[in-house]
Structure 1
Amino acid sequence: MNRLFTAFIVAAMVLGIVVGWGVNQGLDPAQAKVVAGNLTIITDVFLRLIKMIIAPLVFSTLVAGIAHMEDAASIGRVGVKTMAWFISASIVSLTIGLVMVHLIAPGVGMDLIDEAAGVAGTVDATKLTLKEFITHLVPKSIVEAMANNEILQIVVFSIFVGTAVASLDDRAPAVVVLVDQIASIMLKVTGYVMKTAPLAIFAALAATIATQGLGVLVDYAKFVLGFYASLGVLWALLIGAMLLVVGPRAMKLLAAIRGPALLAFATASSEAAYPRTLEELQKFGISRRIASFVLPLGYSFNLDGSMMYCTFAVLFIAQAYGIDLSIGQQVTMLLLLMITSKGMAGVPRASLVVIAATLTYFDLPEAGLLLILGVDHLLDMGRSATNVLGNSVASAVVAKWENQIEDPDPPEAEHLLSPR
C-alpha cells in the first residue's frame, strides 16, 4: 500500500508540472492566474482537512505517550535525550547552511545595490522577540490554541496533562483509555484524508507552475540548486547518524517515510505529513510512547530544513549585495538563529520572519528578502521534506537509546499470522 501511495504521489507531481506548464504557455497571465486560483481550492481544502486533524491528534498521542511512561524520572530522561538530539541537529543544520553557502557562493557576482526598496507588509518580524516567544509558549486557553492549531502551545499543555496522569497512583485508567481511543480514531480519519493527497499535490504544483512558469527555476538556478545540494549533505549526515545509532534497519525506516516525505515536499507543508509520519514510525516498530512524545516536540524544536535555510538565505543576500560578514558576526548569527528558530512553529511564514529579523539585526538590506520570495515556495518544498526526515531520525534515535524499537514483522510472527 505504501508503494502504491508513493507511486500516486509521484504521478500527481509529474502531471501537475505538465499541466501547469501547459496552462502557463497556452494562456495569458490573467487567465493562468484564474486557473491557478481555481486549482488552489483543492489544495486549500486538503490542508484544512489536515489542520482539522492536527490538534486532537497531537494532544491525544502526546498525552497517551507520556501517560504510558513508567514515572516522572522516565519522562525527564526521554525529554533530556530528545532535546540533546534536537540541539545537536540544530547546530549541524545551521553550520551546513553556513559552510555550503560559502562553498557554492550563489549570490557572488549579482552586485546588487541597496535601494531601500520597501518590504513593509511582506513579513512581520516584530513577533520574533524573546518576550513574544516565551509568552507564546503558554496558551491562554487550550480551546483557543486548538482552534488556531498552535502546535507549540498544544504540546506544552499536553506535557502538563500527560505528566499529571503519569504521576497519579491509579494512572487515571479511564482517561488513558479515552485518549488512546481518540488517537486511534484520528489516525483512521487520517487514512481517509490521505486518499485525497495525490489530487491536492497535483493541484498545488499545477497552480504554482501555471503562474510562475518553469523560468523561475532558470533565473535562480544557482541559488535553488545550491540549496538543494546543501539539503543533500544534510540528508546524508542525518541518514548516516541514524545508521550509526539504529543499525541496518534504519534503511527500512527510510522506505517507510518515503510517502510522508513526498507528501510534505509536494504540498510544501511539514504539517500535512505529520499524521502519516506518526503512523509509519509506529508501523516501523518505534514504540507509541516514544513516537508520540518526540514527533510533536520535533515539529516545534527540530525543523532541520528550515534552520539550514535561514543561514543559507541570509548569507546569500549578503553575497548578492557584496557585504562581507566577519567570522565573529557569522558565529553570532549561528547563536542567534539557534534561539530564534525555536519559535518558528508558532509564526506564519516562519522562515521568512526569522530571516527578516536576522537581516535587521546585522543591518543587511531588507530589500534582499524580495530576492528569495519568488522561489520561497519551491525551496519550502525541500525544507518541509527535510523536516519530516529530521524528526523521523530523531524519533528513531531516541527510541533506540531507550530500547523502544521492535521488529513488527519477525519471521515467526509472519508464520503465525499467515492464513491456513
Structure 2
Amino acid sequence: MKSRLTYYILAGLVAGLIVGLGLHWSIDDGTPASAAQLAEIAGYLSIVTQLFLRLIKMIIAPLVFSTLVVGIAHMGDTSALGRVGLRSLLWFIGASLLSLTLGLILVNLLQPGVRLALAIPPATAASGVDAGAFDLAKFVSHIVPQSMIEAMATNEILQIVVFSVFVGVAITAVGEKAQPLVRATEALVAVMLQITNYVMRCAPFAVFAAVASTLAERGPGIIGDLGYFMLTFYIGLLLLWAVLIGIAFLLIGPRTRYLVRYIRDPLILAFSAASSEAAYPRTLEALDRFGVPPRIASFVLPLGYSFNLDGSMMYMTFASLFIAQAYGIDLSIGQQITMLLVLMVTSKGIAGVPRASLVVIAGTLSMFRIPEAGLLLILAVDHFLDMGRSATNVIGNAVAASVIAKWEGGLDPRGDDDLDAAARTFPQA
C-alpha cells in the first residue's frame, strides 16, 4: 500500500497540474469576472486540502504525546534523556548554521534579485504580513504550557513535547507502578498509527486539490515572473540535501542509502502537500524501518519540528537578501552575518506561527531597513517554495534522528543482507 500511495500522490500532483492549468486557460480572459470565478473554483478545491490538513492535525497531538512518553519510558533513566536532548540541540544548532550560511553564500553568488532593479517603495507600504507575530520573550514564556488540554487542542507541538517529557520522566521515576500506564500509552501509539494509515489514503486527493486550486487561480505566470528566484532557491535546497545526506554517509556509513529510500514516501507527501506536519507520521514509520529506536525517533522528531526546520531557515536568508538585491540595497558582509545570527535566534520560535517563515522575514527586514513591502514579491510563489522547504525539513529531521541514534549506539545493527531484504519487501508492504 505504501508504495502504491507514493504513485497515487504523484498522480494526484500531475493531475492537479493539468486540471489547474486547464481551468485557468479555459476561464481566464483578463476580466475581473473571470478572476472572481477562478478564485471561487479555487476556494472550493481548497476545501479538500484543508480537510486533509485538519485530519493530520487531528492525529499529531496524541501521536507526538504517546510516542514521546513511551520513548522516554523505554530509555530507562533521565541521564540518557539529558544526553539525547543535548546532542539533539547541538545538532540542530549546527544544521541551522549550515542552512543559513549556505543560503547566504548562494544568494550572493547567484544574485537572483539584481535583475529586478525595483524602486524603493514608500515607507508606509506594507506587506500584509504581521511582523509582530513573533516575539522572543513571548516565545520563551510560551514554551511551557499553562494547560495540557489547551496545548493539545491548539496543536502546540513544543508545549506538547515539554509536557510529554515531564510525564515520561515521572513514569521512569515511579517505576513498576506506572507500567499499566506505559502499556496503555503503547496501545495508544498503535491505535494512532492505524488512524494514520486511514488518513494517508486521502493524501492523493488533497495533493490534487492543492495544486489545482493554486494554478487555477493564479496560472503559470506566477512561476515565470520569479522563475530565476525559484530556480536558484531550489538549487540551494538540492545542495543542502546533498550536504545533509553526505554528512549522514560520513557518520552512519553506506546504510544511509536505505534511509534515503525509506523517507521517499514522507518526502513526496511533504513536497506535494507543502506541509512538513503532514509527513510526520510517515517519517516516524520510515525511521523505525531504518532501525532508529522509537525512544530516540519519538524524542528527536518532535523537537526537530520546532528547532530543526532546515529548509525554512535557508529560505529566510535567501528571501531576505533577494529582497535587498531587488531594491538595490547593498548590505556589507558584517550586516549579512548579523542578519544570519538574528535569523538563527528568531527561527527557533517559528513553529506554530501562521506563515512562519514570512513572519520572521518581515521582522528581520525592518531591522536592516529593507522595505517590508518587498515580501509582496515572493508571496505569489510562496506556495511553490513552501513545497521545497517542507521536503527539506523532512530530510533534515530524518538525518538528525538517524545520526543521534548512531551516536547513542541505538541504531539497529542489521546487516546489509537484512536491509536489502527489507528494501525489497518494503515496496510491497
TM bracket, shorter-chain basis: over 0.9
Please state whether the residue corresponding to 2:116 is helix, strand or coil. coil
Question: Percent identity at matched positions?
Answer: 58
Instruction: Output aligned runs, 1:210-359, within 5 Å.
Output: 210-359=216-365
1:226-258 superposed Cα distances (whole Å, 9 cap, x missing partner): 100000110000010111111111111111111
Pick the aligned partner of 1:193 from 187, 199, 202. Answer: 199
Instruction: Output aligned runs, 1:10-409, within 5 Å.
Output: 10-27=10-27, 28-116=34-122, 120=126, 122-170=128-176, 172-406=178-412
Q: CA deviation at 1:405?
A: 1.6
Q: CA deviation at 1:215?
A: 1.3
Match of 2:31 in 1: none
Please state whether the residue corresponding to 1:191 is helix, strand or coil. helix
Match of 2:30 in 1: none
Q: CA deviation at 1:373?
A: 0.6
1:119–1:183 Cα change, 3 Å:
farther
Matched, 1:2 2:2: yes
1:61-114 superposed Cα distances (whole Å, 9 cap, x missing partner): 111111111211111111111111111100000001100001110001322122
Structure 2 distance, partners of 1:351, 1:330, is 18
1:144-194 superposed Cα distances (whole Å, 9 cap, x missing partner): 111111111111111121122222343611111111111111011000000
Letter in 1 for 2:58: M
Q: CA deviation at 1:35?
A: 1.6
Structure 2 distance, partners of 1:412, 1:334, is 44
Q: Where does structure 2 lack aligned partners over 5 or more consecutive residues?
A: 28-33
Please state whether the residue corresponding to 1:113 is helix, strand or coil. coil
Structure 1 distance, partners of 2:38, 2:183, is 51
Q: CA deviation at 1:298?
A: 0.3
1:118–1:8 Cα change, 3 Å:
farther
Letter in 2 for 1:246: I
The answer on whether the counterparts of 1:114 and 1:367 sit within 8 Å (CA) in structure 2 is no
Aligned length, in residue pairs:
416
The answer on whether the counterparts of 1:94 and 1:307 sit within 8 Å (CA) in structure 2 is yes
Structure 1 distance, partners of 2:127, 2:314, is 25
The answer on whether the counterparts of 1:284 and 1:408 sit within 8 Å (CA) in structure 2 is no
Structure 2 distance, partners of 1:247, 1:175, is 38
The answer on whether the counterparts of 1:119 and 1:369 sit within 8 Å (CA) in structure 2 is no
Structure 1 distance, partners of 2:134, 2:332, is 24
Q: CA deviation at 1:390?
A: 0.4
Letter in 2 for 1:250: T
Letter in 1 for 2:315: Y
Structure 2 distance, partners of 1:286, 1:271, is 20
Structure 1 distance, partners of 2:414, 2:378, is 44
Structure 2 distance, partners of 1:183, 1:399, is 20
Letter in 1 for 2:397: N
How much is the aligned-residue C-alpha RMSD, in angstroms?
Answer: 1.8
1:106–1:88 Cα change, 3 Å:
same
- TM-score normalised over the length of structure 1: 0.96
- TM-score normalised over the length of structure 2: 0.94
1:338-389 superposed Cα distances (whole Å, 9 cap, x missing partner): 1100001031110000000100111111111111111111100100000001
Structure 2 distance, partners of 1:119, 1:60, is 47
Q: Where does structure 1 lack aligned partners over 5 or more consecutive residues?
A: none
* Structure 1 consecutive aligned stretches of length 4 or more whose deviation exceeds 4 Å: 117-121, 407-415
Structure 1 distance, partners of 2:214, 2:175, is 55
1:23–1:412 Cα change, 3 Å:
closer
Bigger shift: 305-314 or 363-372? 363-372
Structure 1 distance, partners of 2:76, 2:354, is 37
1:192–1:105 Cα change, 3 Å:
same
1:362–1:410 Cα change, 3 Å:
closer
Structure 1 distance, partners of 2:131, 2:81, is 35
Structure 1 distance, partners of 2:324, 2:415, is 52
Structure 2 distance, partners of 1:38, 1:412, is 47
Please state whether the residue corresponding to 1:109 is helix, strand or coil. helix
